[in-house]
Structure 1
Amino acid sequence: MPPAANRPRAVAIELNAVLVALIGDEPQVLTLENGALLPSGPFEGDHPTLQTGLRAWVERQTHHPLGYVEQLYTFADRSRAAATLGRRIVSISYLGLTRERAAAGEHEPGWQSWYRYFPWEDWRGGTPAVLSRQLLPRLRRWIDAAANAMTKRERRQRVEVNFADATWNEDLVLQRYELLYEAGLVPEAAARRPIADPLPGAPMHYDHRRILATGIARLRAKIKYRPVVFELMPPDFTLGQLQLAVEALAGRPLHKQNFRRLIDQQGLVEETGAVSAETGGRPARLYRFRREIVIERAVAGSKLPLSRSS
């Protein structure tokens, strides 16, 4: 028998779901254990596919059916906490979108705004206070603590690419989280070294916040070239509601006229003939998504008209 150190380590496959819904104009994710975990569970041998296994686990844990689903990423880091238990975890993550909520109850899972975990990602009201008051000053100290001039220059460049106000890229959610982890500014990095004063932003167990960052980044990038936002919308909606939904996902304001011109040019929606009186002012026309025009094809030229103000 080979020595224990040379024996193959058992491998377990875990499935994780980043399940997103728009609730009250906020992008929210389905969580367990008071927001500390994403829905997850092992891939079982009687599941014909990984996605089937994911759907079964999510519905069993949350009593919540999945709609649109796509695979995100596979995580197999040796440093995962479960590795200390004598096995290696291969975590396969999925992004799911839904229009529905499970009924609230004592044992039901919780919906949490994804900005609870990444408060520096919400620019709808301007530059987030946490960015200028806490995050950037600590990153500057991390830069200054570099061991040599080359490392200091590399750190400064990475901070400028990921966190500069003037060139903020809403798609770099995962890169920003990974940089904060490396700098020791998030609670999940405490296993590497103690953190006296972590940044605001709720932590999650294991690497679930990293998986959530991956899901947010994927969805933010995807809404720019595929109309997946309609998977989150009710059947009938106003153009104002649609703009708020896209802004909520992107974390950035949109120019109203440019946004409506874009929607009109692409022919993504059509009027229902009805109006909504819920806008608080003049009744707004209701629209529906023209699903038939995008089946089996991407929508070209749907770059979001992001702006500094609405």
Structure 2
Amino acid sequence: MADVAEQVEAELVAVITAVHDGEPLALTTEDGRRLPSGPLQTEHRSMQAGMRSWVTRQTGHDLGYVEQLYTFADRRRAPHPALEISYLGLTTVASPTDSWVSWLEYFPWEDRRAGDDLIEAHLAPALSRWADEPPDRELAVRRRLRCAVTFGLEGQPWLPGMALQRYELLYEVGLVPEAGASADPEVTGRPMDRDHRRILATGIGRLRAKIQYRPVIFELVPESFTLGRLQSTVEAVAGHQLHKQNFRRLVEHQELVEETGEVEHSTGGRPAKLFRFRREVLDEREAAGTKLPIVRSR
């Protein structure tokens, strides 16, 4: 057993996220086929500290919020199997380079801001055929329910945090390139090497769940921002639209922000007030977040 353990390699894989002009981005390498990754750092007091240092050295970006995701076992790696220890890191970027790729190129079905035509026209029929394949009717019923819950079909609500479950279901059905499918990337997304698209989906799901009860969304906006930019950032991450007045009432009711006394003149209309995040709310209350509704509203 010791000999086997010694042959297992370990590396860090970073899901580094930013939002620019209403587009959710992930930092990538290898022409968008991989997430930033590298050997496990052992000289730091913690893995998280090592992760921050490694990301800064490799990418030039300082991370705000950082959280460990999962450890993935890649048994296909040669010459030895590898453990991929994944982290989610949030940052801001003023001028994205080509290494920053929209989530939606990998998971086009995750953007519900313009409706769900892609799911209804392409994915739902394929999922329905897969669900009805088994001659065992009980299995077919279970499959159909799983498809409905995962993709918000047949009256089930769309749950933003199920990004990983949606990707894994499409993989199981054989609809994504990683499963050997020859598919339109505009429907089933761009492929990634190894397990990196699965790791990215894990990061998306974790972030969407996190912003419902912790104010980590403020790590994705500059120090001062308009409420319009804050809302568009939340919508980009959540993948659905929010009612403007309801959103602003939520933010103001929780006292998450305060005015800076300055205005933004480049909004295309009347100058908009600039706000900043009240970081003292973290001391005042244990749980303060954007309390996102899970159903898209217009």
Asked if TM exceeds 0.5, the reply is yes
Structure 1 residue 155: Cα displacement: 0.9
* 8 Å contact kept, 1:16–1:54: no
Deviation at 1:147, TM superposition (A): 4.7
Whether 1:98 and 2:91 are equivalent positions in the alignment is: yes
CA shift, 1:307, in A, is 5.0
Partner of residue 167, structure 2: 177
- The Cα shift of 1:280 comes to 1.0
Partner in structure 1 of residue 13 of structure 2? 16
Q: CA distance change for structure 1 residues 164 and 179 in 2, over 3 Å: closer, same or farther?
A: same
Q: Does 1:41 align with 2:38?
A: yes
Q: Distance in 1 between matches of 2:240 and 2:290?
A: 16
SS in 2 for 1:87: coil
Counterpart of 2:67 in structure 1 is 70
Q: Partner of 1:251 in structure 2? A: 239
CA deviation string 1:277-310 (max 9, x = no partner): 2211111111111011214853357421455443
Indicate the residue corresponding to 1:111 in structure 2.
100
1:260 is matched with which residue? 248
Task: Classify the secondary structure of the residue corresponding to 1:81.
Answer: coil
- 1:255 touches 1:306 (CA, 8 Å); kept in 2? no
**Contact 2:211/2:289, CA 8 A, preserved across alignment:** no
Letter in 2 for 1:116: E
1:133 and 1:216 map into 2 onto residues whose CA distance is 24
Distance 1:272 1:44, change over 3 A: closer
Given the alignment, which residue of 232, 236, 240 partners 2:220? 232
Which one-letter code corresponds to 1:52 in the other structure? A
Supply the distance in 2 between the matched residues of 1:295 and 1:255 (Cα, whole angstroms). 29
Q: Secondary structure at the match of 2:160?
A: coil
RMSD over aligned CA atoms reads 2.2
Number of residue pairs matched by the alignment: 293
Unaligned stretches of 5+ residues in structure 1: none
Aligned to 2:292: 304
Which one-letter code corresponds to 1:59 in the other structure? T
Give the aligned partner of residue 197 of structure 1. Answer: 183
**Structure 2 SS opposite 1:75:** strand
Aligned partners of 1:102, 1:8: CA distance in 2, in Å?
45
TM-superposed CA distance for 1:86, in Å, is 4.0
- Match of 1:121, as an amino acid? E
Deviation at 1:46, TM superposition (A): 3.3
Residues 45-104 of structure 1: per-residue CA shift (max 9 Å, x gap): 434432233234333332333332111111125xx420xx24221111000001135774
Identity across the alignment (%): 55
Distance 1:67 1:246 in 2: 17
**Distance in 2 separating the partners of 1:296 and 1:176:** 37
CA distance in structure 2 between the partners assigned to 1:242 and 1:259 by the alignment: 10
Q: Which runs of 5+ in 2 are unaligned?
A: none
Q: For residue 152 of structure 1, what is the aligned residue in structure 2?
A: 140
Structure 2 partner of 1:125: 114
8 A contact 2:132–2:144 mirrored in 1: no
Cα deviation digits, residues 215-257 of structure 1 (max 9, x gap): 0000001101011010111111111111111111100111111
Tell me the distance in 1 between the aligned counterparts of 2:202 and 2:183: 25
